Chains A and B, each alone.
Chain A
């Protein structure tokens, strides 16, 4: 056990104690956010990478892969919040999970309403549909980034930057990288989310 310090600290000792308090406060807030943000970012990123690479190179497979990715996303989201609940209990913590759940539901709802029930099965059908799907995809990818920017106003500026930069990359790709847009999304969008998640997990301790 640590030795008890003298009870009349000098200004230098008081400054050191305050610096320690500030450090622990910052570390704890980062650790709490890291615990839930890092796995969510990695999950989002991996789903994007799989969906976008498939759309780029084998779009017909997305007819069934949508449902698999939706399921993986929902199960992953539930598991992440369940595990987080074993480390921390918060009277208002459910709102964070609910916010992500509502956002996820909103995005899934509109993608499924905007995308035709009969997914293109031939190259001709895909080529005719692709320009519309590109717009839907660009929009769909900016929804969680929009949430990161808004959430960052309360949580941490890191998320504002992350959301803004990835949104800018999506818009850039949408305007200038037509032929390999989905590959661009996989690398810049999904890749950025995975790298951010790993970065937070490694350094926000």
Chain B
């Protein structure tokens, strides 16, 4: 029986996870691109990402492109699995 995930259940984190899961496995999205896509402020997005990273669902990678700092985000295998289970649990609730 699939279980809901308390960390993913927050609306903002659910949307962040959905956006990152939509990427091909192993792909990473730039922080500001994700913020614009989801219409989240940097502070709000950063706080939620920290929670997701602490849970091991998201990996945050800081790098430099053309000498400018860039932050890339990718979902981990654990995060992808938990997200899929959470979505399945939501479907189960709808079926009740």
Contacts and interface: CB of A to CB of B under 8 A. Distances in A.
B60 interface: no
Interface SS, B side: helix
Please classify how large the interface on chain A is, using the bins under 10, 10 to 19, 20 to 34, 35 or more.
Answer: 20 to 34
Contact of B11 (A20, A86, A91): A20
Interface in B42-90: 44, 47-48, 65-66, 70, 72, 87, 90
B41 to A, nearest CB: 10
Given A27-B37, A90-B26, A91-B26, A21 B12 contact: no
A142 to B, nearest CB: 29
Interface in A84-107: 85-93
Nearest to B44: A1
Majority SS of interface residues in chain A? helix
A5 interface: yes
B93 A89 contact: no
Given A24-B15, A87-B33, A15 B94 contact: yes
A21 B87 contact: yes
A20 B10 contact: no
A116 B21 CA distance: 51
Contacts of B23: 28, 32, 88, 90
A71 interface: no
A2 B94 contact: no
Interface of A: 1-2, 4-5, 7, 9-11, 14-15, 17-18, 20-21, 24-25, 27-29, 31-32, 85-93, 205
Which 9 A-B pairs have CB atoms at the shortest separation, nearest pair first? A28-B22, A24-B18, A14-B93, A90-B27, A14-B90, A91-B26, A89-B28, A28-B19, A87-B33
Given A4-B10, A18-B91, 14 more contacts: A1-B44, A7-B4, A9-B9, A10-B93, A11-B93, A11-B96, A14-B94, A18-B90, A20-B15, A21-B18, A25-B18, A28-B19, A28-B22, A28-B37
28 contacts: A1-B12, A1-B48, A2-B12, A4-B10, A5-B10, A9-B9, A9-B93, A11-B94, A14-B91, A17-B14, A17-B90, A21-B18, A21-B90, A25-B18, A25-B21, A27-B19, A29-B22, A31-B37, A32-B23, A86-B65, A86-B66, A87-B30, A88-B27, A88-B29, A88-B33, A90-B28, A91-B24, A93-B27
Interface of B: 4, 6, 9-12, 14-15, 18-19, 21-24, 26-30, 33, 37-38, 44, 47-48, 65-66, 70, 72, 87, 90-91, 93-94, 96
